[in-house]
């Protein structure tokens, strides 16, 4: 082999390696993008923050929230004493149906004690919000969130990662993946993911 042929072969090989590397890198990036995280993505967290602000302005959550009527719930995994509010809410340019559940817990929790000092017993605020069409068609476009009383998000350790509880919780095919809001609420009798029969979810979903 002459030197020039060797050089040409070498250059061609280098080019080929660079080409293969670029394609692989491109496909890896594409692959990563194609995998949709069912919950806790940055979009989910941003949306949960916007939803909190909208609920806050409407005095549904936060220190100035209107006082609701606490009642004894007791069903797992939610609180023992609960408060419930449901209505339409506008977030950005979307108006959707909202269900807010305040969960009160504590050793001496009771309806009377909660009425006396809500802040002391409020442990979490679980929210379902009907989002725009296409958000999660398999599950009637519900957006699920579990907030702390200050509006920050509860987190869960999964597969070595800490994931915020906001979004499609927990859309998945295996039993483990399914042990979340969607899975449990899909057994609600009316078929709209809502357990309380007095909550009528409007069919319209823009
Ligand atoms: C193991 C089953 C189960 C899981 C998991 C679960 N829920 Fe519930 N949820 C219930 C039951 C039962 C009720 C009705 C009784 C009550 O309020 O405790 C309920 C009620 C609610 C309500 C009031 C509306 C309704 O359905 O009547 C909201 C809002 C809610 N849950 C949100 C959530 C969110 C958000 C999650 C996930 C972070 C979640 N739930 C996880 C069982 C579950």
pLDDT in tens, 6-55: 555 555 555 444 444 444 443 443 333 334 568 899 999 999 999 999 99
Nearest CA to ligand 1 atom 29: 127
Q: What is the pLDDT of residue 35?
A: 46
Mutate to test the pocket of ligand 1, among 38, 102, 103, 126 (most ligand atoms within 8 A of CB): 126
Task: Give the single-character DSSP code of 74.
Answer: -
Q: What is the pLDDT of residue 12?
A: 57
75 CA to centre of ligand 1 in angstroms: 9
Q: CB of 198 within 8 A of CB of 84?
A: no
Instruction: Please state the atom number of ligand 1 nearest to the C-alpha of residue 183.
Output: 5
Nearest CA to ligand 1 atom 32: 126
Q: pTM value?
A: 0.83
Q: What is the pLDDT of residue 89?
A: 98
Q: What are phi and psi of 143, to 5 degrees?
A: -110, 130
Inform me whether the pLDDT recorded for 110 exceeds 50: yes
* Residue 87 DSSP SS3: strand
Inform me whether the pLDDT recorded for 102 exceeds 90: yes
**Domain locations in the chain?**
3-185
Inform me whether the pLDDT recorded for 196 exceeds 80: yes
Instruction: Quickly tell me which residue has 């998945």 as its tokens.
Output: 172
pLDDT in tens, 56-75: 999 999 999 999 999 998 66
Q: CB of 102 within 8 A of CB of 125?
A: yes
Ligand 1 binding pocket, CB closer than 6 Å? 73, 75, 77-78, 82, 99, 101, 126-128, 144-146, 165, 169, 180-181, 184-185, 188, 194-196, 199
Instruction: Please state the atom number of ligand 1 nearest to the C-alpha of residue 179.
Output: 5
40 CA to centre of ligand 1 in angstroms: 18
Q: What is the pLDDT of residue 59?
A: 98
Mean pLDDT of 157-162: 85
Nearest CA to ligand 1 atom 26: 194
pLDDT in tens, 114-144: 999 999 999 999 999 999 999 999 999 999 9
What does the block give as tokens for 115? Answer: 């009425």
Mean pLDDT of 163-181: 79
Inform me whether the pLDDT recorded for 176 exceeds 80: no
């Amino acid at each position: 082999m002459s030197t020039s042929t060797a050089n040409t072969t070498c250059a061609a090989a280098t080019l080929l390696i660079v080409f293969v590397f670029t394609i692989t890198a491109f496909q890896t990036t594409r692959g990563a993008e194609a995998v949709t995280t069912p919950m806790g993505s940055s979009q989910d967290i941003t949306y949960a923050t916007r939803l909190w602000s909208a609920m806050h302005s409407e005095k549904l959550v936060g220190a100035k929230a209107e006082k609701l009527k606490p009642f004894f719930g007791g069903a797992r995994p939610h609180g023992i004493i609960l408060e419930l509010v449901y209505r339409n809410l506008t977030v950005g340019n979307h108006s959707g149906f909202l269900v807010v559940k305040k969960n009160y817990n504590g050793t001496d929790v009771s309806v009377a004690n909660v009425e006396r000092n809500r802040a002391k017993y409020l442990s979490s605020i679980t929210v379902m919000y009907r989002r725009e069409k296409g958000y999660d068609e398999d599950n009637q476009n519900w957006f699920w969130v579990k907030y702390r009383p200050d509006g920050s998000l509860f987190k869960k350790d999964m597969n070595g990662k800490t994931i915020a509880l906001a979004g499609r919780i927990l859309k998945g095919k295996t039993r483990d993946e399914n042990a979340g809001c969607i899975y449990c609420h899909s057994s609600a009798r009316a078929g709209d993911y809502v357990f309380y029969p007095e909550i009528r979810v409007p069919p319209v979903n823009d």
